[in-house]
Amino acid sequence: MELADITRSLIDGDAPGTAALTQQALDAGLAAHTVLNEALIPGMTQVGDLFEKNEYFVPELLLAARAMYAALDLLRPKLTEGDYEPAGKAVIGTVQGDLHDIGKKLVGIMLEGNGFAVVDLGADVSPERFMEAVRESGAKLVGLSALLTTTLPSMEKTVQALKELDPSLKVMVGGAPVTQAFADSIGADGYGRDASAAVTLARRLLGNA
């Protein structure tokens, strides 16, 4: 049994296979953080590359995510503090007035798949709920999504509220009507054009690129 088999199985979106191989690895005495860092995260990174190159699309990404979560469920109880440090913590959500969820969900998957701890607040999230989640989780990074031109003002309002709460907080934005110029104009720290770009951006904003 090789870690590369777990990676391959994850890229192929085979959830039962990935879980079975992960269990085998644990039974063989491999540490949970080794499986995570050397099999799952490289797998999701490759999935992200394929997605960015337009070879993978939403369904393949969701299948890979299902495989990843199947493996993570087995690893989590064994990931003890000390030997495992998340790449960072992020709060994400779709802004108030916007019920579109899928793009933001993909960002969450890719962040988790790259070792981030993610608090996903869902869709139609008010600035107050974002602030509350930041306070509760202590996250230093927030990701905002908007799919409608009409909810861009809501994104701006949320960025302002978060920056008032804590000017050192990093806010990244994305979604179909969002552009780099818009992100700059509302004082966001970064713009990611897709889920994969969001990971690179998150790493850069938290200074662990």
The residues of the shown chain that bind other proteins, judged by CB under 8 A, are 53-60, 62, 96-102, 105, 123-124, 148-152, 154
**Contact partners, residue 102, CB within 8 Å, separation at least 6:** 58
CB of 154 to other proteins, least distance (A): 7
CB of 152 to other proteins, least distance (A): 8
**138 touches 89 (CB < 8 A):** yes
Nearer to other proteins, 57 or 136 (CB): 57
CB of 110 to other proteins, least distance (A): 15
Nearer to other proteins, 155 or 205 (CB): 155
Cα(193)–Cα(20) distance, integer angstroms: 34
Nearer to other proteins, 59 or 82 (CB): 59
How is residue 155 written in tokens?
Answer: 């994104």
CB of 151 to other proteins, least distance (A): 6
**162 touches 134 (CB < 8 A):** yes
CB of 130 to other proteins, least distance (A): 16
How is residue 140 written in tokens?
Answer: 């230093």
Cα(180)–Cα(157) distance, integer angstroms: 17
Nearer to other proteins, 155 or 202 (CB): 155
Count of Cβ atoms closer than 10 Å to residue 70 Cβ: 20
Nearer to other proteins, 27 or 55 (CB): 55
How is residue 199 written in tokens?
Answer: 């990971």
Q: How many residues does the chain have?
A: 209
